[in-house]
Structure 1
Amino acid sequence: MSGDENGWAQAGPPVAEATNISKRYGSTVALDRAHIQVRPGETHALVGRNGAGKSTLVSILTGLQAPDTGQVLFNGQAAPRLSERDAWRRHVACVYQKSTIIPELTVAENLLLNRYHRNRGGLISWRSLRREARSLLADWSVDVDVDAKAHELSVEQRQFVEIARALSFGARFIILDEPTAQLDAGAIARLFGHIRDLQGQGVTFLFISHHLQEIYEICDMVTVFRDARHIVTARVADLPRGELIAAMTGEATALAAARSRTAPAATTDLVLDVSGLSTSGVFDDVSLRVRPGEIVGLAGSGGSGKTEVAETIVGLRTAGAGTITVAGARPRAGDVNAALASGIGFVPQDRHQQGLVANMSIADNATLTIPERLGPAGFLSGRRRDAVARSMIDELAIKTPGPDLPVSGLSGGNQQKVVMARALANDPKVLVLITPTAGVDVRSKEFLLDKVDQVAARGTGVIVASDELDDLRICDRVLVMFQGRIVADLPSGWRDHDLVAAMEGLSIDA
């Protein structure tokens, strides 16, 4: 239920208000007379492409830096001075995509860091610390063991602990920065349930996400930034998806409507044949076939086994049973090099941990899979490498001054394009993608999915393993996994309800 329906979302002055905010870094304009107003009790989305100014606004709203012009108000009163950190914590807190919890400390120690109770001798009273931590978690319905080390917690649990810690300072305005980026479908549902519960207790949220489906599910209001400026603020229910995307990009995009493609003609030829693939406790008796030019989705929530199946196909894992055949050949199981040699290209789930070498150049990252094409007898030609890289930069519209730039200097969307470029560098017969548009802006998402369409049109078979509905809409059919087994095979044109129900192990007609 939205804040408006409860009656308290419009009562009183705004919980937070930023007006006429401008911020420059040298010649770069990060914010240009931008503004936002967040009413009490609502969940307010802030969306925009990378570089729109969202992160700069968050740093100003949380007192990490001052605007060049403009003013920040909390509950109608001027924000504290930047040096008054405790005063800021009583007004606002941000739960970032990368956790600020200290891994080696317990939950209780993290919750009350630098606020430990001490006895008359000046020593920390660990009993009092744990008691207060339990009370705090109970107050905000967070079910976590206060004695557990933070590194033992799931991403979801760490987020709940961070929210509880923020609330313990007195803040009732919480900024959630890409909170679902590392969560599976079940954890997202629990997070949204927790947000609604806290909303009912008068907590206000600013929700930052690239996933538009989530905004329509959880948010009451949405503000769009583009090119450092405020574009529109509207009730989510009153803003059609196409208009929201147009506001973010400055133009209507293909994602505003259902994507369409012509499925490849029926043929007995297979470019990928997976038969009876099993790994104890992970997935069981998984079989799938992909024809040249066909895009097959592999859907499922966390724990379904979809990611593990995709990683097994590309040689990152070894199955206990079953076979994988690529264009008539069987690469050695559990061998990435053999998978590459057989004609598999791969975009992994996490570009930071698995997809990129951050300090290496775009050229080096994009050509890691094709050293044999860059020079004889193991010697690499820089000229040849750069020529290949420039061709990839052009093909994938990577925004960079040149191939020598370290990939760490690129935006998230352009980094993902580099990962895609490397996957395509060896002209794969089969392209395997795991959550290929995670953490990228709307325009980059559209571009990447269009590129997958183009690759398939050239005869490459594609597997898209994802629980993102937009990723799966491009597929000719979607295989749904639940608890390690394929439970549904949905042709293109599926309904969201049917797909999500199958992912959650429910009857299609439920």
Structure 2
Amino acid sequence: MGSPAASHSSGHTPALLVASGISKRFGGVAALTDARLDLKPGEIHALMGENGAGKSTLMKILAGIYSSYEGQIAINGRPVSFANVRQAEAEGIAIIHQELNLVPELTVADNIFLGREPRIVGLIIDGKATRAAARDLLGRLGIDLDPDQRIASLRVGEQQLVEIAKALSLSARILIMDEPTSALSPAECERLFRIIRQLAAEGTAIVYISHRIDEVMQLADRVTVFRDGRHVLTKEIAELDQDRIVAAMVGRSLHAAPEEATNEAGDVVLSVRSLRLSKPHRRGWRQVLRGVSFDLHAGEILGIGGLLGSGRTEILETIFGSANGQAGGEVRLDGVAVDIRSPRDARRLGIALVTEDRKTQGLHLGASITDNVALPLVNQLASFGLRSFGGEAALARQAVKSLAIRCSGIEQTANTLSGGNQQKVVIGKWLATRPRVLLLDEPTRGIDVGAKREIYDLIFRLARRERLAIVVVSSELPELLHLSDRILVMSEGVQTGLLSRSEASEERIMQLAAPRSANGGRKVA
């Protein structure tokens, strides 16, 4: 389905922005070679490609982050070049980065208007006006956040929405959105799509970078595909289908693997009964989990679905002993009650958690693959207090081999790997501890279609062949349906359903995930 913005970009509308012959190198590596992109007023232009294809590099050039490059950029036919971000913003270009760019200790309002705060007599920051302007912007986005709330207290998805509000505060003519829905639930995505369509209808040109092809098919007017730093394709969305986009991205057809047969249940490995969690709140304690119960079998993949803030991640954190708050309920392993008060306790018992934000919680970005994979086992591998560098290297080599991590060697630093390979390193780190229960929170967030398929294959292999008991939290309903033997659905901290594979559908999950109305019924999210 095309967006309402299509009328703006149809026909022979003159280009608002043209980038042509763009080349950029980092040392001896070519990130872009003779790349091009044109953008029309009021269009939603999807830019697609695998990790490392050059999408973000071009966007950083357009946004003034990279000032050294070859090629030409013109706005309304006028050549431009930007020495910094402020010059790009002055030309009406704003960017929302995939990696959040907020100050954790400042408030929502302070982050939105950082460096551009309303002032009294041009000197004193007008806090009241800043909060009011932030409240108006958040209201336009339909975001129920307190402008005085600190960024550090928000979840990843909520922080992403603050980034969007910050970009919109610039009144940009060109808005670049790099994976804006990577941490959002379906309901938040739909709300964002409405805002994007509204902005396009008002004449804003939007560059939309996403790995989610279904989003692009629903939202975009045109699609441009990059591969290996080069332009491959630009077409109207009406001329494309998902298979052609995927083939352009990866250079080959990538048909979906046949659906895995429902796995025969093994013995119960993990039992959770009446799990609850309360977190500190302005007026005391707020209950974020109430009465969650399930069994997890050897070789089973249990999916957990629900909207942002429904308690999905908190279930994993509470089981793993990393939740911030007061936890209760009963957790059993092999029928024996266990007391897990910290991640160290969980790891000792054979439970591993791959967190949703690999860059801040899962990896030491400046460290090597070896250091990252060996980190949980450094003490066990050590001899007489000295690190076993040979043992650590052996672990890393095993992870690279078994998970097919694409790298130049085990000493390559994590921050130079693609998103999919970074995720494999995080998974490899925890698999090195030989867990029996693997908890995966948004395991394919922010990775491309090819790497996503590899992660799926890995999850199936771990469950089916190695008989790990796996829990997967995902905001992507097709992903949940593809991976899961059963799906537990959460709404506002309450378990509202536990569906078998045959019972589960996107419609049924969304019905169960919808927030409850005041009279106890359900309302549409």
2:167 equivalent among 160, 163, 167: 163
Alignment of 1:44-193 (within 5 A): 44-65=45-66, 68-80=69-81, 82=83, 85-86=86-87, 89-100=90-101, 104=106, 107=109, 111=113, 113=115, 119=121, 123=123, 126=126, 133=133, 137=137, 148=148, 151=151, 154-167=158-171, 171-193=172-194
Matching of residue 25 in structure 1 with residue 32 in structure 2: no
SS of the counterpart of 1:163?
helix
Distance 2:515 2:126 in 1: 44
In structure 1, how many angstroms separate the alpha carbons of the residues matched to 2:268 and 2:336?
11
Unaligned ranges ≥5, structure 1: none
Residues 108 and 133 in structure 1, CA contact (< 8 A), matched pair in contact too? no
Q: 1:488 aligns with which of 467, 474, 497?
A: 497
Corresponding residue number in structure 2 for 1:463: 471
Aligned partner letter, 1:469? L
- Cα displacement string for residues 388-429 of structure 1 (whole angstroms, at most 9, x for unaligned residues): 211111111222333233323323222211110012112221
Is this contact kept in 2: 1:13–1:76, CA < 8 A? no
Kindly provide the amino acid, as one letter, of the partner of residue 264 in structure 1: N
How far 1:81 sits from its partner (Å)? 5.8
CA distance in 1, matches of 2:330, 2:128: 58
1:437 and 1:471 in contact (8 A); partners too: no
- 317-326 vs 24-33, which moves further: 317-326
Of residues 405, 413, 417 in structure 2, which corresponds to 1:410? 417
The match for 2:256 is 257
Equivalent residues of 1:156, 1:187 under 8 A apart: no
The Cα of 1:207 is off from its aligned counterpart by: 0.9
Give the aligned residue type for 2:168: A
CA distance in 1, matches of 2:32, 2:114: 35
Q: Secondary structure of 2:376's match?
A: coil
CA distance in 2, matches of 1:59, 1:85: 13
How do residues 353-372 of structure 1 correspond to structure 2 at under 5 angstroms?
353-371=360-378
Percent of paired sites with the same residue? 34
CA contact (8 A) 1:413 1:440 kept: yes
Q: Does 1:309 align with 2:315?
A: yes
Name the amino acid aligned to 2:462: V
How far apart, in 2, do the equivalents of 1:491 and 1:275 lie? 19
Cα distance in 1, alignment partners of residues 454 and 512 from structure 2: 28
Find 1:274's aligned residue among 272, 275, 297. 272
1:374 maps to which of 371, 376, 381: 381
| Partner deviation per Cα, 1:30-52 (whole Å, 9 max, x = no partner) | 11121122222111111111110
State the shift of 1:175 in Å: 0.6
Is 1:501 equivalent to 2:511 in the alignment?
Answer: yes
Deviates more, 1:493-502 or 1:202-211: 493-502
Question: Structure 1's 161 and 303: CA in aligned 2 closer, same or farther, altered over 3 A?
Answer: closer
Instruction: Pick one of 474, 478, 496 that aligns with 2:483.
Output: 474
Residue identity in the other structure for 2:311: G
Partners of 1:312 and 1:319 within 8 A in 2: no
AA at the equivalent of 1:271: V
Distance 1:488 1:509, change over 3 A: farther
Distance 2:277 2:117 in 1: 47
Judge conservation of contact 1:319–1:333 (CA < 8 Å) in 2.
Answer: no
Amino acid at match of 2:457: D
Distance 1:159 1:217 in 2: 23
Query: Cα–Cα, structure 1 residues 462 and 142, in superposed 2: closer, same or farther, change >3 Å?
Result: closer
Work out whether 1:9 is the aligned partner of 2:9.
yes
Q: Which amino acid aligns with 1:159?
A: E
The RMSD of aligned alpha carbons is 3.5
> Secondary structure of 1:414's partner?
helix
Contact 2:302 2:487 in 1 (8 A): yes
Deviation for aligned residue 1:244: 1.8
Q: Which amino acid aligns with 2:430?
A: A
Displacement of 1:344: 1.6
Structure 2, gaps ≥5 residues long: 279-286, 517-521
Confirm or deny: 8 A CA contact 2:310 2:493 kept in the other structure. Answer: yes
